[in-house]
């Protein structure tokens, strides 16, 4: 029994020795002297026990300098570290940036501490820490911070005011525990000209001691209007740089648009019952958009089919196969480039992923051919002038981000870059969903459009989430500027394009022909213009309807006007699709062809 008692006591003794040997802060005292100008001189005395585990070369102290007011506006307090001593001797230290402040890392990186107790004395000066209210002023001060990874046995603080104030005019209290805790395990005592505080229990890792001292107004000079203005400008330097850059960007683009991007006055636009002579569907789209997209390529393929040079076969899986017929036809500008690169062997071509390089080369050649024939003659893109604005926008955003304090600037930079690329994908998805919704006709089209919207939702959520994250780092004002700057650059990419006088006259004819193709109501067309829907025109003008984004209205007009016999005559001989052909097929035919070709082109031209 005695042996058992001896072993138990020995075990308890060893456990107590091990507990006492744990690394911890034995005593933490802060001496805070408030100056008449509102600045503070703080001396912290920290006694630690080091065992070579977490405390190896020294300790570090984190000081928050970036805060948010209740309206989420950022403000930055001053912090000037004056030096540190260890055991009465000057100690090495270095300053590191953090997301919301600075870290003072104390110790020599080439020297380990001896095991045992070490006493550190840190001195620093700070300002903008006082609160000024209607009936009193106060200091709310987190004495220890809440970031320590080991316990604090004893913690205390003493606050000194610049003048002697009777103790009965002061109010002292505080809090202990984790961040935002309202636990008050401490004792406080007001003195003439200050107050003393000490925690009545030890603090665990992650806990801290915060103290409050309320004192009469007039003791500390409140910030002047001029000082508040300086602080406001300094706190919002990032926003001011962004705003200045945005105004410069807007002014530059407005000047360039006035000189080079303003369109000539449009002429009188009347319905045109046939396309402008000598222009293919792809060329009309290219000139109307003053730029190229994959629908230009799809319209060119459809035009080659309508002229009889190739046939289009689309199976139930939406795979599109193009087969040359060998028929001699007159080729429009750009179509020879397609034939030379995609149909060099006169064999059937299936638009799929494995030929993406050939499709990419064909699209590039088609675009180059259209640009050589029509750009500068019918419109100017002014891309170089637009690109200068893009550089201004990039410089503005980079400059604004550099003025965000601390390490947050790097997170904000990453989010800006990520959002820039992510937004391109989101815009593409949403545009596809909008186009699908606009072209949807019938159950199949509605289901397809709904699927695109549902598919886009997670990406939209990512966009919103990224913007919210950026707002929390850089502020909602920066988010607004970011959207305005990006939106301005994107908008002026199109607005800087301008037709020539010849281009303006041609656009009047294009819009007149588009109006004719897009009149969906048979009664309106017949009563106002006495033009009847001719079955043969359906397939002849379908490539133009696709190129001018009115293929659904074009097909719908024929579906409502044709008899079953005329319907059969309207069926394109160059198109072979899954299912039977009837009135319902006619309204879905154009969207089926265009979406099939467009999706096939997209999948085969992307790697």
Model pLDDT for residues 553-603, shown as the tens digit of each residue: 887 777 776 677 766 666 778 877 655 555 455 555 555 555 556 555 665
Question: What is the Cα gyration radius of the chain?
Answer: 38
pLDDT value of residue 571:
72
**Strand, helix or coil for residue 279:** coil
Strand partners, 186: 199
Share of the chain above pLDDT 70, in %: 85
Whether the predicted pLDDT of 255 surpasses 90: yes
Instruction: Compute the CA torsion angle 132, 134, 137, 142 (nearest 10 deg).
Output: -60
**Whose CA is closest to 557, among 607, 518, 502, 510?**
518
Whether the predicted pLDDT of 530 surpasses 50: no
Compute φ and ψ for 79, nearest 5 degrees: -150, 120
Whether the predicted pLDDT of 518 surpasses 90: no
**Strand, helix or coil for residue 322:** strand
The pLDDT mean for the chain works out to 84
Compute φ and ψ for 8, nearest 5 degrees: -65, -45
pLDDT value of residue 442:
60
**Strand, helix or coil for residue 118:** strand
Query: What is the average per-residue pLDDT within 355-365?
Result: 87
- Beta strand pairing status for 79-86 and 89-90? antiparallel
- Beta strand pairing status for 575-577 and 310-314? parallel
User: How far is residue 46's CA from residue 25's CA, in Å, rounded to a whole number?
Assistant: 7
Structure tokens that stand for 70 in this block: 């209740």
User: How far is residue 337's CA from residue 341's CA, in Å, rounded to a whole number?
Assistant: 6
Which helix (H) or strand (E) segment holds residue 120: the answer is strand 116-126
Residue 466, number of CB atoms within 10 A of its CB:
17
Tens-digit pLDDT profile for residues 141-179: 999 999 898 899 999 999 999 998 999 999 999 999 998
Distances (CA, A) of 593 to 16, 552, 601: 83, 11, 12
User: How far is residue 554's CA from residue 549's CA, in Å, rounded to a whole number?
Assistant: 10
Tell how many helices (H) and how many strands (E) occur in the chain.
Answer: 17, 23
Compute φ and ψ for 145, nearest 5 degrees: 80, 165
CB neighbours of 174 closer than 8 A, spacing ≥ 6?
184, 186, 188, 197, 209, 210, 211, 212
Distances (CA, A) of 524 to 23, 520, 531: 89, 8, 10
Compute φ and ψ for 293, nearest 5 degrees: -145, 180
Task: Tell me if 453 sits within 8 A of 447, measured CB to CB.
Answer: no
Whether the predicted pLDDT of 16 surpasses 60: no
User: How far is residue 264's CA from residue 378's CA, in Å, rounded to a whole number?
Assistant: 12
User: How far is residue 324's CA from residue 86's CA, in Å, rounded to a whole number?
Assistant: 87
Tens-digit pLDDT profile for residues 562-571: 677 766 666 7
Residue 20's pLDDT band (boundaries 50, 70, 90)? very low
Compute φ and ψ for 370, nearest 5 degrees: -65, -40
Q: Please tell me what DSSP assigns to residue 168.
A: G
**Strand, helix or coil for residue 173:** strand
Judged by average pLDDT, the poorest of 21-35, 233-247, 370-384, 583-597 is 583-597
């Amino acid at each position: 029994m005695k042996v058992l008692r001896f072993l138990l006591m020995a075990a308890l003794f060893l456990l107590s020795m091990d507990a006492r040997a744990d690394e911890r802060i034995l005593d933490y005292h802060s001496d805070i002297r408030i100056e008449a100008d509102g600045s503070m001189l703080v001396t912290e005395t920290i006694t630690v026990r080091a065992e070579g585990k977490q405390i190896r070369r020294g300790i570090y102290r984190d000081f928050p300098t970036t805060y948010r007011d209740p309206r989420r506006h950022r403000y930055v307090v001053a912090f000037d570290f004056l030096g540190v001593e260890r055991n009465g001797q000057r100690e090495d230290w270095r300053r590191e940036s953090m997301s919301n402040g600075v870290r003072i890392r104390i110790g020599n990186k080439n020297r380990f501490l001896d095991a045992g107790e070490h006493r550190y004395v840190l001195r620093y000066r700070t300002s903008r820490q006082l609160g000024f209210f209607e009936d009193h002023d106060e200091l709310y001060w987190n004495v220890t911070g809440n970031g320590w990874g080991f316990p604090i046995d004893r913690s205390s603080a003493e606050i000194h005011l610049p003048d002697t104030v009777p103790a009965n005019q002061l109010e002292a209290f505080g809090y202990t525990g984790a961040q935002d805790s309202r636990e008050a395990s401490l004792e406080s005592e007001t003195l003439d000209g200050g107050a003393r505080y000490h925690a009545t229990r030890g603090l665990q890792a992650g806990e801290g001691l915060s103290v409050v001292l309320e004192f009469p107004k007039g003791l500390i000079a409140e910030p002047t209007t001029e000082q508040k203005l300086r602080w406001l400008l300094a706190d919002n330097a990032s926003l001011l740089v962004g705003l200045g850059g945005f105004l410069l960007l807007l002014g530059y683009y407005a000047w360039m648009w006035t000189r080079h991007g303003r369109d000539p006055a449009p002429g009188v636009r009347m319905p045109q019952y046939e396309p402008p002579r000598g222009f293919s569907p792809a060329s009309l789209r290219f000139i109307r958009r003053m730029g190229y997209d994959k629908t230009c390529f799809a319209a060119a393929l459809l035009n080659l089919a309508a002229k009889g040079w190739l046939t289009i076969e689309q199976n139930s899986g939406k795979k599109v196969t193009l087969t040359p017929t060998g028929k001699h036809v007159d080729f429009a500008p750009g179509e020879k480039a397609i034939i030379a690169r995609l149909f060099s062997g006169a064999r059937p071509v299936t638009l799929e992923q494995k030929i993406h390089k050939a499709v990419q080369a064909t699209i590039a050649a088609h675009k180059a051919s259209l640009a050589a024939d029509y750009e500068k003659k019918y419109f100017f893109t002014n891309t170089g002038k637009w690109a200068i604005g893009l550089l201004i926008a990039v410089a503005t955003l980079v400059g604004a981000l550099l003025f965000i304090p601390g390490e947050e600037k790097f997170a904000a930079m990453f989010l800006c870059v990520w959002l820039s690329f992510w937004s391109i994908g989101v815009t593409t998805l949403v545009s596809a969903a909008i186009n699908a919704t606009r072209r949807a006709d019938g159950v199949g089209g509605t289901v397809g459009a709904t699927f695109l919207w549902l598919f886009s939702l997670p990406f939209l959520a990512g966009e919103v989430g990224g913007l919210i994250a950026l707002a929390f780092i850089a502020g909602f004002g920066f988010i607004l500027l970011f959207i305005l700057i990006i939106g301005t650059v994107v908008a002026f990419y199109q607005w800087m394009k301008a037709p020539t006088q010849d281009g303006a006259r041609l656009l009047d004819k294009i819009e007149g022909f588009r109006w004719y193709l897009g009149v969906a109501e048979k009664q309106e067309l017949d009563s106002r213009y006495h033009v009847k829907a001719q079955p043969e025109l359906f397939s002849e003008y379908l490539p133009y309807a696709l190129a001018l984004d009115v293929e659904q209205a074009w097909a719908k007009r024929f579906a409502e006007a044709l008899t079953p016999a005329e319907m059969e005559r309207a069926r394109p001989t160059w198109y072979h699709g899954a299912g039977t052909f009837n009135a319902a097929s006619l309204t879905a035919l154009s969207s089926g062809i265009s979406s099939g070709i467009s999706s096939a082109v997209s999948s085969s031209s992307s790697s």
